Amino acid sequence: DNDLGVLDAMQTLLSRWGADVRLARDLDDIADILSDAAFEPALILADYHLDDGVIGIEAVARVRAARERHIPAILITADRTEATADAAMSNACELLHKPVRPAELRALMQHLLK
């Protein structure tokens, strides 16, 4: 996500659930995170609309390519257009609409991590 407040809130929530959270605001942050070869993400949460015209699907693709494997991903967005839903589906990403309900997020995460 490109919003520091959202990142902070998400980190707090996920940490309460026992997750090892790495935060990224842009593609450069993702590169820094992925420079740690020992870090193996189990799941990606990505905002759909990021800064400078970047979309979350690009972030997901970067992480998957860097680790050379499919990593489950959830795109989070307020955008309810069919084009966004199609983009998520065609890139093997789940889609959650804002505002995200914690129980819904947790259930989807648990499902994807099975």
Rounded average pLDDT per 10-residue block, the chain, 114 residues: 92 96 94 95 96 94 97 97 98 97 98 96
Pair 43, 71: CB distance under 8 Å: yes
Q: Is the peptide bond before 72 cis (omega within 30 degrees of 0)?
A: no
Q: What is the pTM of this model?
A: 0.95
What is the reported pLDDT for 39? 94
Taking Cα atoms as reference points, which of 36, 11, 41, 9 lies closest to residue 23? 11
